[in-house]
Amino acid sequence: DTGVSQDPRHKITKRGQNVTFRCDPISEHNRLYWYRQTLGQGPEFLTYFQNEAQLEKSRLLSDRFSAERPKGSFSTLEIQRTEQGDSAMYLCASSSQLSGNTIYFGEGSWLTVV
Partner 1 sequence: GDSVTQMEGPVTLSEEAFLTINCTYTATGYPSLFWYVQYPGEGLQLLLKATKADDKGSNKGFEATYRKETTSFHLEKGSVQVSDSAVYFCALSSQGGSEKLVFGKGTKLTVNP
What residues make contact with partner 1 under the rule CB under 8 A?
4, 31, 33, 35, 40-45, 48, 50, 55-56, 91, 93, 95, 101-108
Closest CA to 20 of 71, 80, 85, 104: 80
Q: Considering the complex, what minimum distance in angstroms separates the CB of residue 100 from partner 1?
A: 9
CA nearest neighbour of 90 among 34, 45, 22 = 34
Identify which of residues 48 and 82 has a Cβ nearer to partner 1 in the complex.
48
Contact yes or no for 32/21 (Cβ under 8 A): no
Residue 55 vs 114, nearer CB to partner 1: 55
Residue pair 7/21 in contact (Cβ under 8 Å)? The answer is yes
Using the minimum distance from each CB to partner 1, give the nearer residue, 54 or 80: 54
